[in-house]
Amino acid sequence: MTENTETRQQGKLHKLFDRNFLDYTSYVIRERAIPDIDDGLKPVQRRILQTLHNMDDGRFHKVANVVGETMKLHPHGDQSIFAALVNLANKGYLIERQGNFGNIFTGDQASAARYIECRLSPLARETLFNKDLTEFVDSYDGRMLEPVSLPAKLPMLLLLGAEGIAVGMATKIMPHNFCELLKCQIKHLRGKQFTLYPDFPRGGIVDASNYEHGNGRLRCRAKIEKVDDKTIAVTELPYNLTTQSLIDSVEKAAKAGKLKIVSINDYTAEDVEVEIKLPRGVHADETIDALYAFTDCEVSVSPNLVVIRENMPCIVQVEEVLRHNTDKLQQDLEKELNIERGRLLDKLHARRLEQIFIEERLYKEIEEQISYKAVISTVRQALFPFADELVRKVTKEDVERLLEIKIKRISRYDINKQQKEIQTLEKAIATIEKHLEDMVGFTIHYVEALLKKYGKKFPRRSRLEQFDEVNARAAALSNIKVAYHRESGFLGHKIKVENTKKDLELTCSEYDRILLIFKDGLYRVVNVADKVFIGSNLLWMGVVDNDLVFNVIYRSGLENLTYVKRFKTPKFIINRDYRLFPEHKRSIIQLLVVGDKDVRARVSFVPSARARYNRLEIEFDDYLIKGAAAKGKRVGNRTVRSVANLTGKPRTKPQTLPSLPGFAKTEGQ
């Protein structure tokens, strides 16, 4: 095989793969995963509802039979149909259930298809079907007809919500409240602005601050109630969460030490009830914050409103979808009125023809005719003078219908009854024509009627509320002991303290950050680690707190002078070194005390025969709090021998001394 031949064959193979992959991609997007904007349904849902409509006789049907009938339209397995039917039935709008269809709260599965039954709900019968408005195409095997789209009179896409993963795209459409959707449709018809927010069947609390009209981000919380100080109850769930998954997340957090519980029990039946018992020393209010911070009691949802519109996938907004559905509803209602008007006109035309034919005794004029053609011609000529009383021109079919009237009907003909029926038809036609003149008003009346009839069945379940994010560090349990072993120079929660005088120890949570201050003026902030080497020069360590005030006395090796400074916890980048004063081999922190009030220290100078005072008491309250990099105030011009911490000790009676810049009053020696 030559190189050119091989290249050509590879090119043909690539084209074959590209073409087949595009066909597959198009099929998955339009025929499986992404719902249609017109009726809001995926193909499998549409086929299930059409099958239920075909089978509908008012009674319940075995789900197994419904699945089997749907397979005549759906080219996939029975399990996908069964799962879609159960999911659609559990939404509670279109399908009535009988038997165990599972539990959306606990995640329990439905019974086998042969044990449970279903039928169309009254809402579905009233709003989903009209064969006059439905376009049908051949099913996959050509034996049956299936609808391209159902003439839904409800905004099904936003009512039901949808999730699907296609090739290269996905959709995640939030469900909305029935009453709110219909009220917003009325607002749109009246030319008013409206805003829509999701409503979830499991309830919960929804923060829609970052919700962007069907896209963006939602934060959903479980509804947690404090029964008493040692008992918490979860009564509503976040979006798409079950009690089992919530319990698993709570137990996982408890095992990780993020919260403490004694037990957790699920008592959910028709309503959600998950009870959490707390141990001694743990309070409900603190645990509720921890549940939101560390478990699935709070979840983040990222909606993505992708739909099929005019056979193409596109991203739209919630309000755009509702406006589209409402405009389509108005168009469908207008089509229905025109179709009904046409039927009534045909019926009125037939009744008037019959009335004229019998009351004017036109049938007598055909007695002498010897051919069928002559009979038809005679009747048409006899009806010609009455053309102004008829709805339209007389056709051959009209004449044939008159000739089929039996003598029994003519003999029993009731003029008054016929006239009353004609008046009823005329009145009905006039009513329809009045509606056609004001389609907006008629559509509003239709939506209001649906709202009045079904609205009470579908109250809002989720509560809209704006809530602050829980601070994970604040909610975390301080159950980790971090130790510093001076001799080895290691720090971490796996280090053990041997000498409490030399070594350091603190209790913190896994989310805390630890500030380390070294004797030479270096400071660094680190995360809680298992074991990390920091050297043997550590002076102080503590959990980062922006409100801490540090009182420092240090010796500058460059000048051999001592300075006093106060500062709050400085800004930092994790694991980066900073300095409180310039680096020098003789620079050292002589005293470090944390506190914002009543911090005192005694500075002892190197004795001098000519000096009047050899020690000085410093009140840190007399110094301003500045940045960590500030140089501070100088403590005299003499060399400091030692510094003692007097915080918490009784004050000594000071002597009157001359004022010196940056000095507190001192005690003589």
User: Sign of dihedral through CA atoms 515, 516, 521, 522?
Assistant: negative
115 is catalytic: yes
Same domain, 433 and 481: no
| CA 405 from centroid of its chain's CA atoms | 65
Structural element, H or E, at residue 334: helix 318-359
Same domain, 423 and 343: yes
| Boundary residue ending a domain (400, 427, 457) | 457
In a domain, 656, yes or no: no
What's 270's domain CATH number? 3.30.1360.40
| pLDDT value at residue 655 | 40
Q: Confidence band (pLDDT; 50, 70, 90) for 411?
A: confident
User: Which residues span the domain enclosing 496?
Assistant: 474-645
Q: Name which of 399, 415, 299 is nearest 349 in CA terms.
A: 399
Q: Kindly report the number of other CB atoms within 10 A of residue 325's CB atom.
A: 25
| pLDDT value at residue 668 | 34
In a domain, 323, yes or no: no
Question: Count of domains in the chain?
Answer: 4
Q: Confidence band (pLDDT; 50, 70, 90) for 90?
A: very high
Same domain, 439 and 505: no
Same domain, 29 and 175: yes
Q: Name which of 264, 308, 276 is nearest 31 in CA terms.
A: 308
Structural element, H or E, at residue 173: strand 170-173
SS3 state at 299? strand
Same domain, 415 and 536: no
| pLDDT value at residue 269 | 86
In a domain, 308, yes or no: no
| Boundary residue ending a domain (172, 189, 206) | 189
Same domain, 293 and 339: no
In a domain, 664, yes or no: no
| Boundary residue ending a domain (282, 301, 320) | 301
Structural element, H or E, at residue 566: strand 561-568
In a domain, 199, yes or no: no
| pLDDT value at residue 657 | 37
In a domain, 652, yes or no: no
In a domain, 658, yes or no: no
Same domain, 289 and 229: yes
Q: Confidence band (pLDDT; 50, 70, 90) for 311?
A: confident
Q: For residue 212, which amino acid is it?
A: E
Average pLDDT, the chain: 86
Task: Calculate mean pLDDT across residues 382-396.
Answer: 82
Same domain, 488 and 594: yes
96-100, 143-147, 183-187, 653-657: least confident range? 653-657
Same domain, 26 and 163: yes
The residue annotated as part of the active site, out of 24, 27, 93, 115, is 115
What's 555's domain CATH number? 2.120.10.90
pLDDT digits 0-9 by tens, 533-546: 998 899 999 988 88
Strand partners, 597: none
What's 148's domain CATH number? 3.90.199.10
Q: Is the pLDDT of residue 468 over 70?
A: yes
Which single residue is written with the structure tokens 């090739």? 167
pLDDT digits 0-9 by tens, 612-632: 788 888 889 889 999 998 999
CA distance 302 to 218: 6
| pLDDT value at residue 32 | 67
Same domain, 297 and 337: no
Q: Kindly report the number of other CB atoms within 10 A of residue 528's CB atom.
A: 18
C-alpha distances out from residue 617 to 37, 183, 566, Å: 80, 76, 16
Q: Which residue has the higher pLDDT, 63 or 29?
A: 63
Same domain, 515 and 590: yes
pLDDT digits 0-9 by tens, 414-440: 778 888 888 999 999 999 999 999 999
Same domain, 411 and 523: no
In a domain, 630, yes or no: yes
